[in-house]
Structure 1
Amino acid sequence: MALNNSGLRPSRLSRALAAAILIGGVVGTAQAQQEPAAAGEGAKKPTNVEGVVVTGSRIKRTQIEGPSPVTVISSTQIEREGFVTVFDALSTLTQNGGSVQNELNSAGGFTPNGSPVNLRGLGPGRTLLLINGRRAADYPFPYNGQSNFQNFGNIPSAAVDRIEILSGGASAIYGSDAVAGVINVVLKTNFNGDKLTVRGGTTTTGGGDYGDVQWVGGRSGDNWSVTYALEYFADEPVWAFQRSFMDSADDNPLPTPELGVNQPTASIRLNRPGSAAGSYIAPPPGTCDRFGGEFVDYNFRTVVAATRAVTNLGPGCGSWKDVSYQTIANGNSDWSGYFYGTYDFANGIQAWTSLQGFYSKSKLAGGTEAISGPHIDGTGRVTTWFDTGFNTNLNMQRVLTPQEYGGVDGLYQRYTEKSLDLAFGLRGTIGRFDWDVTLGRAEYRAERTRQRLDGSKVTDWFFGPRLNTTGTPRYKLNLDRFYTPLTPEQYRAMSDTLKYESESWVTQGSATLSGDLFDLPAGPLGFAAVLDFTKQGYDLKSPRSILPTVIETYNLTGTNGGGDRSRYAAGVEFSIPILPSLKGSLAGRFDKYDDITAVDDAKTWGYGLEWRPLDNLLFRGNYSTSFKAPDMHFVFNEGSGSFTTSLDTYRCLSSGLSAASCTGTVYNYSVFATSKGEPTLTEETGKSWGAGVVWDVVDGLSLSVDYYDIKLDDAVTTLSSAYILDNEAGCRTGLTRTRQPFQFSPDSAFCQEIVSRVNRIDAPGEPTTRIDGVRSGPVNQSLLRVSGIDAALNWRFSTERFGDFRTELGWTHTLKSERQLLATDPVDRDWRDDPGNFDFRSRVRGSVNWQRNDWNATVFMTRYGSLPNWQETGRIAPYFLWNANLGKQITEKARLTVFVNNVFNKFHPQDGGFNTYPYFWRAYSPIGREVSAQFEYSFH
């Protein structure tokens, strides 16, 4: 519980508990210290961090650390290291090494406007986001259309005081979801005066202009205080065609070796199935020139998988530029506000209230659409049909151009998001105990609109009516329309504006009591108890036309879902002084759930030890259990679908080939996969432990090293189409992808289940039956485990001549990572080094700050460890990014700072074998160097 003007006496335990980072045996106090006042803000009193006085001086870390490390990023540090948003800063956490969807790679996906964090690579939904210790509402759209997660992109940086990050199990205090860690965003309180901050910048490579305006202020009286913040942030989208290394299909660093050159996208292609010579039907002369310079005449070739011989397919229209008609950074216009107020009654009770709001309009583009066959409502597009005009089976592709949309602005899909978090409470003392009662409600609403082709209208325009009712569909392609650009009016006539609506909410209340029960020989026995009630839910409404049971929109599916769950919980914690230099902690929690799943309750506990043999030396250790109730969309999903290009492994192996040799559309084609909620899922259970040391080497220099180990059983995952198809082929042929013996017999329970998930239909003229659909869905995974080392160094020193210096360095290294998909699978104990694992094995972040008189400067560095190369034959080099800034206090109240982020304009490490667009791994940013200037003015 924070100190306030009423003079309430905080106990050792209540200080951390009220801050929502008291984790008992799982959490300790902050490893970083409060920032010194910026020049010109005037002298400030030492800031009380939930009862532990931490100033900008050289306070010993060993006296404020607990049994587990907590990383703290202050608002001053966020600015000093060059970041504008909270998510930008969190992206550099060394513990945040897991791969996630981002603005670069998800523009056409389910959550392209969300900003997830993936601590320890255990998955975005396994990191719990707290705002002032309270659960934030989930992002309304499920991650990848499958699971819930929390968005770290809607937190106003103007209101942030600091961010506290615990990376490890924390269910003994927080219950479900705190498996990989907890990120608690602490907002400003007790702010006096007003401060205006204006920042503007751009990229030096093109696009990405942005501006940010913040107003933070506060007032206080004898028995009251208010703090408020208002922020407006806007930036423009960045397109792939604004980056020369990803604006063309010719940027592919590894063309097919037998061809020796890249080929454009076959944007107008009409061909007989297969890869036989001359299978492409030549378009009429001058066709490619009709499309406004987007297409070029090209004679396409391919490589026959079995013989690796080059075959001349024939002429068509190719596009080098179509890959670049997508945004790689979203355009945003965001308003956010925050209010916090307190009132002290005469009896020592304090009332408080907090309100946080967010309103955002965003736009992004996922590229142009493509027509690849007629559409049958309820079934989807047909990739092979019998054409009565040519009297043969045909395949096709017809990629739309931006001009057919009326320009690139016609490609935008738009988001409107609104979130509101309201809370209020009372706190005070009863005898020697502190108490706190809190009630809160958080809501998050999102709306998405996009223009997409209607399947029936596309079919009517290009193909006309179906000419049969059974067997291979028969149509007659209208060649004049196929080879003629659409006008924007024609596109709009055969498309619909799709509108998605979604909302999520969480209502929560808690009551805490904490204090010292009695004195023991080594000190007082600390105690804390908490009662929690939470009810959360969501409602996702996608357009009817994209639902997998309807499938009326062309080449697009979606998902609906909705439900709620209630949780009642009680927890207790003890801080036990064993010896003057040895302290233990013990925490336990019971959660009772009310929903449609079999998850009824969960019991979690944790303990920790802190041993201080010297004043400047701390040894610590912790152990805890954790759990995660199944994500609600895993449970309440009413049905979702997705199209993905997959290898037909059974067809490949049946042809006598291995997976590496099966290239081309005969073996790789679009597959429709469906998924549905599973109320039978059980909870995930975890165990987490760690041990470490904190050493104040000399005055101002401290070092910490900690080992962590997190194990998760029954983790929920969605079986991928690739996993199902590989194992289906193994069950049918007795061979793996590399033609080694398959481990399960065809009549095993595993094979019966896997084979039942693949639906096949006859495919005349093709090597085997063709995949008609895959039934995916969530299952309880058997095992996830990760272990490694976190290390941090802080060094501050002052010189009379050169000024004050501060150095911070953090390092995380994964020692071991294991996974097991199903209990019938072997445990992959070398997953960390698996060539298919694109999580970073190590990350480093560090900064050096200098301040002298009115001047200050910072150099910040983040290092990404090596990743496998795309051909899985080795690893690419580590990757460094550098930020720098220089600031000056120009008057007593005004400060000016110039920032350069990504000083050396680095984009991504080179991988000569990365032959899939965008030709580098999605974890690397294609934005490049950013320059900006910031002006601050304090009204004191």
Structure 2
Amino acid sequence: MAVFEVSMERSRLSSALIAILMLPAAGAAFAQDSNTEAAPQSSQETVDVADSTDHFDTVIVTGSRIKRAEIEGPAPITIISAADIEKQGYSNVYDALGSLTQFTGSVQNEFDQTGFTPNASFLNLRGLGPGYQLVLINGRRTADYPLPYNSSSNAVNLANIPTAAVERIEILSGGASAIYGSDAITGVVNIILKNNYEGDQFSLRAGTTSRGGGDSGRLQWFGGKGGDAFNVTYALEVSAREEILGSQRGFMDSALDGPANGPRTTGVGLFSGATGQNLWPAGLETTCARFEEFEVAGNSCLYNGHAATQSVRNSDRNLAGYVAGTWYLDDNTQAYGQINVSDSRATLVPRMEQWTKVFGDLSLNAYAFAVRSFAPSEIGGVDAYAQHYDETTFDATAGLRGSMLDGRFSWDATLSHSRYELDINRRMFLTQALDEYFLGQELGRDAQGRPIYAGINTDRLFNPLDADTYRSLSTAVHSEAESSVTQGTLVVSGDLFELPAGAVGMAALLEGARQSYELTPDSRTLPGNPGSGSFNLVSTGGEGKRNRYAFGLEFSVPLTSQLKASLAGRYDKYDDATAVDDAFTWSTGLEWRPFDSLLVRGSYATSFRAPDMHYMYASSSAFYIDIVDEFRCRANGVDPTSTTCNTLGVQPSVAGFRNGSTALEEEKGTSTTLGMVWDIIDDLSVSLDWYNIKLEGGVSDISVRTLMREEAACRLGTDRAGNAVATDSPYCVSVMSLVRRNGDGSIANYSSFPINQAMQETSGVDVNWRYKFETARLGDFNLGLGWSHVLDFERQEFADSAIEDTRDDRGFFNFRSRMNWSAAWSRGDWNANVHGYRWGSLPKADGSDRTAPYLVWNAGIGKKINERASLGLQVNNLFDKLAPRDDSYTQYPYFNPTYSPVGREVFVKFDYKFN
């Protein structure tokens, strides 16, 4: 209890809990007034799982391989049903999971085009990162998205799983490697697909946005047939969505929308390299007017329209199909299988390219600096340079299951294969072709290494291109990626023997798997390859595979009629190029029910994560980044933490180089949960769970900020606090070798690679409140409230560095709290719902303060037309809520891209059941 007392003072948790615990009293009084018959009491939330059990009378629930009828165990589980997904208007599985209060971490998304995966959607439970929760489909692993998140780590894309095939989603909060192996650090997401369905249903949905763009349509057909010896379930989903461009969002369609009217982009310019003097020919306004999108401002010709022509949300077209079947070979044996396939094409419109060049001009007898932006009107429109993502997924499973020893034990043998293929096509300028178009042939280099030309072609520089010229100066760039996982599993479970309090349950697991991935970018985008440097684009390649074998045991032991214990252990053996040889994890849990309406629970688990494939096998890649040179600041007597240093020490577009590492070891974690579930009255429950998750040896690249700090300390012989640093130590020699400097002291480039370095630890609370009741006159009501609050989030970059509490750090862009709520009503042929969510504040871009919380409301209404047909209207973001204001966010899009700029969306849905 001491932990809770300290946390309450810090986060005002006590007030919230008192309020939540008071709500049932008011609800109970209202329910009593309605004079309705009470439902049977239950100690946890109940879910209809009959469709998932076939001819067995128990079901496996995420978090255990022991068959059981109870939904909740020693660790908290959240369930999102297919009905929840539909009634709350979610377009896909990711949208549904995005509503989780445990989703406190930030992730890149399709709007954030600075990322390497702008067409994928990832989960980040508890803020540790997208790869630290295990995503399963029907309890089995699925292939990772082939492109690595942030060009480094692998994770599962949740946007391409068709909702038509989903029965429910189970989310286990906490470590579960002892059951499922690697990656289950912060939790497990198990997407359970439909099975044993009878009948057919057709669904058609159409939607649009109130601010323009984003029209969408979706057709779903799902159904099933069955007989005495078989059942087949199938689903088909076709969907399409048009893009939203910056020009359709007036608050972000121009550089002038920024809080400081900028930064604005030079449309076309020619300047003296020595003095910065404008070298424009006569008639600035006349020349600038030749370009439709450019405008004169002072003595410059500016282009403010980059934002207008890039995607706010991608367009896409998706086709997905699913079929599953079960064949009852005899009373004790079943054969089953399923195939899930999808094909999608998404189009992203990136920020238009810009040509810049520093060169020696013999006609000027000086060196000059030229800038040339390109507008869509010059090259044939935005479609001319759009990026196309063609993605195909295939997931197949076949297995046998049955019972033995007179039904005392059941067994399940499964073989599955999952594959994800991706092609990316885009068009890009050829760097050399642009140089020659504006400057002619290079004549040599001056003493500083700058290229020398006879003189710039001002007629070409100061006149627009046309579509044919654009195609002659550009080329198609094609990249491919694929990933796969093949897995065989045998599970045997049943009751070992009887104790006075009940049967001892057991599950045993044997598993073998093979995982592979391959990235094949256009060779001209790789450093050191023929043609490299052809574009203002760099990529990363990689290829590798690993084999894994595992054995696990799990026990459920009823100690008394009120107390149940669970214990699990798993051994994983790895066969790959890393330093990971094997890993053993274990977990234990307790469930205490002092009386029927109260469950007190707790769990402790160890967990691990094998290094990402791309962390291991990434080939050499290059990138460019703005760096604040701490050495330069400190050498000039400037405080490295001051805003002065950010101005003085910044060096733009420094080249960085990165490689994978096979010297990595597994990341190790622990997870502790403690909580309770209380059924206060019939159909009224509240749960409270405290969690603590610690990760050690986390794999990541050395951050640029840390590298610059350590390099400055090693070069100067003292750290920021004035403590002596041994400049000739092996550590300093290694750090300084990563940063290479020019003769004038500026940074030429730096190198990076992943290492086991970081410690992260987070703790917090999850609160859930649910109440459903019926009234004779007003109808039936179902209410829910969820809240997660991060109490602490600590980080340590190296084993010997200081531990920093980053939860309140102005540079920590994870949410400290998230909340959601729902209210559903039905009466006769009518139904309605209101739901929404609240995201806590984030630091402002300049770290001066925090933004306001983000609050969104959604609502819907439906009507049964007859016994077969129904019609519904759903409005998401009912009040058209946009991102919280942050005037310090001076870079496009002028707000944190975690928030969506889409605004209000309206959907109309029609359902029809054929039998």
TM-score (norm 2): 0.90
Deviation of the 1:479 alpha carbon: 2.7
Deviations 1:157-209 (A, max 9, x none): 00000001112111101111111211100000111110000000100001000
RMSD: 2.4
The answer to whether the aligner puts 1:693 opposite 2:669 as a matched pair is no
| 1:813-868: CA deviation from partner (whole Å, max 9, x where unpaired) | 0000011112232111x211100001000000110000000000000110000111
User: Which residue pairs with 1:527 in the alignment?
Assistant: 506
1:87-106 superposed matches below 5 A: 87-106=94-113
Local SS of the residue matching 1:77 = helix
Residue from 883, 902, 907 that aligns with 2:877: 902
Partner in structure 1 of residue 397 of structure 2: 423
Contact conserved, 1:904 with 1:929, CA < 8 A, in 2? yes
- Give 1:419 shift: 0.5
Counterpart CA distance in 2 for 1:81 and 1:73 is 11
Q: Distance in 2 between matches of 1:872 and 1:352?
A: 56
SS of alignment partner, residue 579 of structure 1: coil
Hey, what does 1:575 align to over in structure 2? 556
CA distance in 1, matches of 2:619, 2:888: 40
Change (3 A) 1:323 1:623: same
Instruction: Give SS of 1:924's match.
Output: coil
> Which amino acid is 2:685 matched to?
S
Aligned counterparts, 1:498-647, within 5 A: 498-550=477-529, 551-647=532-628
Q: Does residue 774 in structure 1 map to residue 729 in structure 2?
A: no
Other-structure match for 1:73:
80
In the alignment, residue 297 of structure 2 is paired with which amino acid?
Answer: Y
Q: Give the C-alpha shift of residue 770 in structure 1.
A: 2.8
Q: Residue 913 of structure 1: SS of its match in structure 2?
A: coil
Q: Does 1:814 find its partner at 2:790?
A: yes
Shift of 1:654: 4.0
Is 2:347 the counterpart of 1:340?
Answer: no
Cα shift at 1:526: 0.7
- Opposite residue 154 of structure 2, the aligned amino acid is N
Amino acid paired to 1:494? L
Give yes or no for contact 2:185–2:669 (8 Å, CA) kept in 1: yes
> Is 2:833–2:860's contact at 8 Å kept on the other side of the alignment?
yes
CA contact (8 A) 2:52 2:194 kept: no
Matches for 1:422-461 after TM superposition, within 5 Å: 422-431=396-405, 432-461=408-437
Q: What residue number does 2:140 align with?
A: 134
User: Aligned AA for 2:424?
Assistant: R
Distance in structure 2 (CA, Å) of the matches to 1:688 and 1:127: 13
CA contact (8 A) 1:358 1:420 kept: yes
Q: Which residue of 2 aligns with 1:890?
A: 865
Greater mean deviation of Cα atoms: 225-234 or 871-880: 871-880
Tell me which amino acid in the other structure corresponds to 2:400: L
Aligned residue number for residue 144 of structure 1:
150
Contact map agreement 2:52 2:59 (CA 8 A) in 1: no
1:398 paired residue number: 372
CA distance in 1, matches of 2:643, 2:834: 45
| CA deviation vs aligned residue, 1:297-343 (integer Å, no higher than 9, x gap) | 123xxxxxxxxxxxxxxx22112222332101111100000000011
Q: Is the 8 A contact 2:291 2:464 kept in 1?
A: no
Structure-2 change in CA distance of 1:635 and 1:743 (3 Å): farther
Instruction: Label 1:865 to 1:743 Cα distance change in 2 as closer, same or farther (>3 A).
Output: farther
Contact 2:515 2:546 in 1 (8 A): yes
Aligned to 1:488: 467
Contact 2:49–2:59 at 8 Å: present in 1 too?
no
Q: Helix, strand or coil for the counterpart of 2:620?
A: strand
1:360 equivalent in alignment to 2:354: no
Kept after mapping to 2: 8 A contact 1:574/1:585: yes
AA of the residue aligned to 1:660: T
Aligned length: 858
**Aligned partner of residue 444 in structure 2, secondary structure:** coil
Structure-2 change in CA distance of 1:243 and 1:352 (3 Å): same
In the alignment, the residues of structure 1 paired with residue 705 and residue 244 of structure 2 have an alpha-carbon distance, to the nearest angstrom, of 32
Show the counterpart of 1:84: 91
Answering whether residue 172 of structure 2 is matched by residue 176 of structure 1, we say no
Take 2:43 and 2:717, find their aligned partners in 1: how far apart are those partners?
55
- 1:920 aligned to which of 885, 888, 895: 895
Distance 1:901 1:716 in 2: 38
CA distance in 2 between partners of 1:190 and 1:716 (Å): 43
Superposed displacement of residue 267, structure 1 = 2.7
User: Do the aligned partners of 1:231 and 1:335 also contact (CA within 8 Å) in 2?
Assistant: yes
Indicate the SS of the match to 2:866. Answer: coil
> In structure 2, how many angstroms separate the alpha carbons of the residues matched to 1:424 and 1:45?
16
Matched residue of 1:404: which SS?
helix
Of the three residues 331, 339, 342, the one matched with 2:315 is 331
Q: What is the CA-CA distance between 1:727 and the residue it aligns to?
A: 3.2
1:462 aligns with 2:400: no
Local SS of the residue matching 1:646: strand
Distance change >3 Å, CA 143–CA 50, structure 1 → 2: farther
Residue identity opposite 2:93 in structure 1: V
Amino acid corresponding to residue 131 of structure 1 in structure 2: I
2:18 counterpart residue number: none
Mean Cα displacement is larger for which, 470-479 or 899-908?
A: 470-479
Change (3 A) 1:926 1:779: same
- Runs of 5+ in structure 1 lacking a partner? 1-28, 38-43, 55-60, 256-260, 300-314, 374-383, 763-767
What letter is aligned with 2:690? Y
Check if 1:279 corresponds to 2:277: yes
Identity of aligned residues (%): 44
- Classify 1:262/1:507 alpha carbon distance in 2 versus 1 (closer, same or farther; 3 Å): closer
CA distance in 2, matches of 1:209, 1:291: 35
Report the Cα offset of residue 911 of structure 1: 1.6
Deviates more, 1:327-336 or 1:479-488: 479-488
Instruction: Give the direction of change, closer, same or farther, for the CA distance of 1:53–1:351 in structure 2 (3 Å limit).
Output: closer
Match of 1:265 in 2: 265
Whether the 8 Å contact between 1:30 and 1:69 is mirrored in structure 2 is: no
Distance 1:385 1:745 in 2: 42
| Aligned twin of 2:30 | none
Q: Does 1:226 align with 2:203?
A: no
**1:195 is the counterpart of 2:170:** no
Q: Which residue among 679, 694, 711 is the counterpart of 1:728?
A: 711
User: Which secondary structure state, in structure 2, belongs to the residue aligned with residue 689 of structure 1?
Assistant: strand
Aligned to 1:676: 659
In structure 2, the residue matched to 1:51 is 58
> Which residue type is aligned with residue 353 of structure 2?
E
Contact 2:262-2:890 at 8 Å conserved across structures: no
Q: Does the CA-based 8 Å contact 1:548-1:640 persist in structure 2? A: yes
The alignment status of 1:826 with 2:802, answered yes or no, reads yes
CA distance in 1, matches of 2:526, 2:802: 36
Corresponding residue to 2:688 among 687, 705, 718 = 705
User: d(CA) in 2 for partners of 1:220 and 1:488?
Assistant: 58
List runs of 5+ in structure 2 lacking aligned partners.
1-41, 62-67
Map Cα deviations across residues 238-295 of structure 1 (whole Å, 9 max, x no partner).
Answer: 1122111111111112x2xxxxx65632232333458x6x534335424653453211
Distance verdict in 2 for CA 1:428–1:756, change over 3 Å: same
CA deviations on 1:741-798 (whole Å, 9 max, x unpaired) are 4774433433322221122224xxxxx4332211112111230111100111110011
How far 1:877 moved relative to its partner?
A: 1.4
How far residue 402 of structure 1 moved from its aligned partner, in angstroms, is: 1.1
2:668–2:696 contact (8 Å) kept in structure 1: yes
1:34 aligns to what? Answer: 47
Name the CA distance, whole Å, in 1 between partners of 2:794 and 2:685.
33
